[in-house]
Amino acid sequence: HIDGNRMVLPQGMIGAQCELAFAIGATLQGEGAAINRDAISAAVVTCWPTIGLLGRRTRPASNPELATIADFGLHVATICGPMSMDFDRDALDQVQMIARIDGKRMISARGDAVLGHPLEAVAWLARELARQDRRISAGDIVATGSFGPILQVLPGQRLTVEFAGIGEVSCRFD
């Protein structure tokens, strides 16, 4: 349950990841079209700083992509900060991320921790989907994956994540 910038942590939480999410403005075609960072950069319309919440891991299922993310953790929620349209797509690899719990600095990382550049993660996903005859479509929202290690968050704590030049997202967990 999310109320403003507060959320009740569900049972089975693994932790939180600090990531960026992008709104895609054009369908990324796989047939013969190059799916690379430049194509992704041209398709990205907006960006949000986000906190992704992960639930307990499961065993692989017959259709795991419906609810699982890396290492079969379950996606629980994505908490988005303010939308940014004014960010340097080419310099996302240099974006500094700082995560704090109750004001104490826990981790920091740069965008190059995400496959060398956050848009490379989106390009990788687009290529993988194209191999399956699927695609990222206009209107889709795509998250990069974590800039750093997963953070344990507990009831009563506030996680604040700042992405320099993009924005900040914060949530208190109950």
Q: How far apart are CA 152 and CA 134, in angstroms?
A: 34
Question: Does this model's pTM top 0.95?
Answer: no
| Block residue for tokens 């109750």 | 102
Full pLDDT tens readout for the chain, 174 residues: 444 578 888 777 889 999 999 999 998 876 556 889 999 999 999 999 999 998 875 555 555 454 445 555 677 889 999 999 999 999 999 999 999 999 999 999 999 999 999 999 999 999 988 888 889 999 999 999 899 999 999 999 999 999 999 999 999 999
Query: Contact, 13 vs 153, CB < 8 A?
Result: yes
User: Edge-to-edge strand order for the sheet containing 2-3?
Assistant: 2-3, 6-7, 167-173, 158-163, 96-101, 104-110
DSSP state of 72: G
Q: How far apart are CA 127 and CA 115, in angstroms?
A: 14
Query: Contact, 90 vs 65, CB < 8 A?
Result: no
